[in-house]
Amino acid sequence: MTRIISTASVAILALTIGVASASARTYHGNNSANALKGSQHGDTIYAGRGADQVNSRGGADVVFGGYGDDVLNGGPGNDVLFGERGNDTLTGGYGNDRLYAGPGADTLFGGPGNDRLYSIARDDKADVLDCGDGDNDKAWVGPEDTAIDCETVHVAAAGPRVPKDDVKVGTARNDVIFGWGGNDTLSGALGDDRLFGGVGNDTLNGDEGNDMLYGQAGNDIANGGLGDDTIFGRQGDDTIDGGDGSDRIWVGSGTDTANGGAGNDYIHATANDKLVDTIDCGETVAGVVGTDDADTVWLREGDTSINCETVNVVTKTDASDKDSSAPQS
């Protein structure tokens, strides 16, 4: 039976799922149509710009469809799937999943488990949300959407949805925290956390632990803090500081500034754009030109590097290949 609970505007503020495994990986697609397959652990997968098919397999995974008409399959585990742009098909599979439609005409299948399906994107087209098997499935929809076999349905009011600026702090566990649409401040606190900025000019603080920070859209500030962190700038003019530890940093497609900080850092600044990045590998030894650590940086012609031990300059043609798929982490 379907029950209408409320007609108020819906604001989904925070989400913490699962426990990040030491064997979890990050996968990136490129501009082509990719077939991406995750591991049996809690992976993070970016599908890229093509019409992609993603099978995240086991674990509590987070999957972003990116551009294109994508097919995203969660598999076993409590997964989180984002359709993003394009007309996407999202299937949660086994587990208590969270599925988010993007601005396209998307189809969401919850599958077995107590799932949560959301169709609250701004400028959204008509979506179909099929909750599937489960005794406590819930859906958040707009007036133009269709909900099938959902125990509870929340209908958002018509009109524009105003993003909220949130402040969210993690716990001592391994948290996954999302910023959504406002100018958010996310702090991981203790644990090996995954922070996603979303749309807006966000501030991401990894704090302690080996964290993963994703700037997403907007002019973001990302601070890795303690630990061996992995940071992705994505879109916008970002400012990135790896902090202590041997960090891995991927500068995004804007005019970015990245500082590796202490430790043996890897900084990758070869996004296929025409903007100029500034890369500072970190601390220097007094009276000596260079750094006290074995930092490695990949740049495009025209970028600026400071205090870097090893600098690799790639051509524009090489950059498109280098940037298409970040190494697994």
The number of C-alpha atoms within 13 Å of 304 and in the hemisphere containing its C-beta is 11
Residues in the chain: 329
What's the chain's average pLDDT?
78
Query: pLDDT of 156-195, one tens digit each?
Result: 766 555 567 778 898 898 888 887 778 989 999 999 988 9
Helices then strands, counting H and E runs in the chain, come out as 1, 31
What is the structure's pLDDT at 54? 94
What is the structure's pLDDT at 314? 64
Give whole-number Cα distances, 178 to 91, 220, 298, in Å: 20, 14, 29
The whole-angstrom separation of Cα 207 and Cα 210 is 9
Q: Which residues contact 317 (CB under 8 A, 6 or more apart)?
A: none
**CA-closest candidate to residue 80, choices 233, 214, 201, 255:** 214
pLDDT tier at 260, thresholds 50, 70, 90: confident
Across the range 134-161, mean pLDDT stands at: 82
Between 4-13, 101-110, 274-283, the lowest mean confidence (pLDDT) is in 4-13
What does DSSP assign to residue 161? P
Residue 132, SS3 per DSSP: coil
Nearest-5° Cα angle at 287, 283 to 289:
65
Which residue has tokens 């296929």?
A: 272
Instruction: State pTM to two decimals.
Output: 0.66
Nearest-5° Cα angle at 112, 135 to 90:
120
Specify whether the CB–CB gap between 156 and 9 falls below 8 A: yes
Between 53-62, 156-165, 169-178, 222-231, the lowest mean confidence (pLDDT) is in 156-165
What is the structure's pLDDT at 288? 32
Across the range 100-118, mean pLDDT stands at: 92
Quick check: 319 pLDDT over 80? no
**CA-closest candidate to residue 130, choices 102, 160, 89, 166:** 89
Across the range 57-68, mean pLDDT stands at: 88
Residue 101 has a CB neighbour count (10 Å cut-off) of: 31
Alpha helices by DSSP H, listed for 62-120, are none
Residue 307, SS3 per DSSP: coil
What is the structure's pLDDT at 162? 56
The number of C-alpha atoms within 13 Å of 88 and in the hemisphere containing its C-beta is 35
The kind and range of the H/E element at 72 are strand 71-73
The kind and range of the H/E element at 317 are helix 316-322
Which residue has tokens 């900025």?
A: 197
The whole-angstrom separation of Cα 49 and Cα 317 is 18
